[in-house]
Amino acid sequence: MAAAAAMTGCGPAQRQFAVSDSDIALGGAKAVSLKRAVEATGAVPMLTEAVILPGRGFNTWQLRGYIPGKGVVDLFTAPSLAEAAKLMTGGENDYRGNESFKNGGSPLVPFANRIRGRFDAAARTIETKIDGQTVKLPANWKGKKPDAEPHSMHGLILGEPLTVVRREDTDGHALVECTYEKAFAGEWLGKMKLTCTAILTRSDFSLTITAKNTGTGPLPMGIGWHPYFNIVSGDRRQAKLKIPAKRRALVDNYDNVFPTGVIENTEGSQFDFRTPRAMGGQFLDDCFFDLIRNGDGSAEAQIIDPAANFGYSVVSQSKGVKAYQCYAPPDKPFIVLEPQYNVGDPFNASVWKDIDTGITMLAPATETTYDASVRLFKA
């Protein structure tokens, strides 16, 4: 009997990771969940789930993790999938997919941040020049003040559907991969193919975006990611921020948030976050660049929540990542920390002059790869 019992227990071990679909579809595609099936206990924080929206620009809608003393919690600021479906309708508030960058973690392609141009109210576009050629971008955003200037914000794929081409789960990871092809037809130069991969492992969550030029001319490319990190304790004043940057771009105000061309060294200023510092009541919507990299070449920023005894590391190995944008309103329990290729309004030569704005010019048949990963640590 003992031998029989032993034989019964010799089946294959259950995999730690799994990929599954939600019952809820957004943008015509079901949300995809990457889960780690382990008992969430002990003294070490760990990631347990990532929820991806292939139908909405491959948004990482939610990360969940185990935090000692808190249990399994939402790590991103985002409503439920059911509530998201009510918001992501393509209506006025969701023009060109805007609801995608108001929560979760949306990829920003082929540019991050803002681009200004001549506004056409009837067409709801802005006209500007890229590499000497005229494009008309959607005017999908403006500030709240009456004189705020309409502009183009956060790329062209916010509300776009991607095609799932691969799912994979093993004892070491869960993965989903999607592709997307776009000929920009006057909104941008050239033609591209995107391959977006999300992977949850024992150590981190990683997002990888490869953009390939599939056209016959140059393709300007900027890539970013827009994740809203929850301050799990709810106390943003004590939350600490680290952005290892030597400089930041001054803006006209925190409503338009347009770069002025004035560059400030962070050292010794209230914007010096090269070592972790409590946020207090400070407001941020700033672009930090001239990054100080780790010995392995990676760029790493951190958000630390001392009251919850843990922190986030937001790391990129990509050499193309030149900046971190940080949006941190003091009255909200989140910090948006965005590793990105380009600074704001990157084609405005009158502002940036000879400064490298982070846009990569891809020749035909060449590609660039962006990556960002999130790791949890005990603080």
Helical H segments across 249-375, by residue range: 349-352
* pLDDT value at residue 284: 98
> Is residue 218 within 8 Å of residue 70, measured between CB atoms?
no
For the chain, list residues with pLDDT below 50: 1-11
Residue 240 Cα distances to 110, 201, 273, 373, 379, angstroms: 31, 26, 9, 19, 11
9 occurs within a structural domain? no
At 127, list the tokens: 């006209």
45 occurs within a structural domain? yes
Alpha-carbon distance of 49 to 167, in angstroms, equals 15
Which residues make Cβ contacts (< 8 Å) with residue 3, sequence separation at least 6?
none
Report strand pairing: 323-328 vs 367-378.
unpaired
Alpha-carbon distance of 226 to 289, in angstroms, equals 16
**Token pair 């949006």 is at which residue?**
327
* pLDDT value at residue 13: 58
- In 68-172, DSSP assigns E strands to 71-74, 105-108, 114-115, 118-120, 125-130, 133-138, 152-153, 163-169
5 occurs within a structural domain? no
Q: Which helix (H) or strand (E) holds 81?
A: helix 81-87
- In 44-172, DSSP assigns E strands to 46-53, 59-67, 71-74, 105-108, 114-115, 118-120, 125-130, 133-138, 152-153, 163-169
* pLDDT value at residue 42: 87
Number of other residues whose CB lies within 10 A of the CB of residue 165: 13
Alpha-carbon distance of 347 to 340, in angstroms, equals 15
* pLDDT value at residue 206: 98
The two counts, helices (H) then strands (E), for the chain are 3, 28
Domain containing 248 — which CATH number?
2.70.98.10
**Nearest residue to 129 (alpha-carbon basis) of 279, 346, 300:** 346
Domain that holds residue 318: 17-378
DSSP label of 293: P
Alpha-carbon distance of 175 to 35, in angstroms, equals 10
Q: How many CA atoms lie within 13 A of 135 on its CB side?
A: 22
Alpha-carbon distance of 329 to 335, in angstroms, equals 8
DSSP label of 131: T
Number of other residues whose CB lies within 10 A of the CB of residue 17: 21
Alpha-carbon distance of 161 to 100, in angstroms, equals 12
7 occurs within a structural domain? no
1 occurs within a structural domain? no
168 occurs within a structural domain? yes
End-to-end distance of the chain based on CA atoms, in angstroms?
50
Alpha-carbon distance of 312 to 295, in angstroms, equals 19
At 291, list the tokens: 């990054």
Structurally, the chain folds into a number of domains equal to 1
Residue-wise pLDDT tens digits, 117-131: 999 999 999 999 999
79 occurs within a structural domain? yes
**Nearest residue to 318 (alpha-carbon basis) of 377, 267, 282, 372:** 372
**Nearest residue to 160 (alpha-carbon basis) of 59, 71, 231:** 59
3 occurs within a structural domain? no
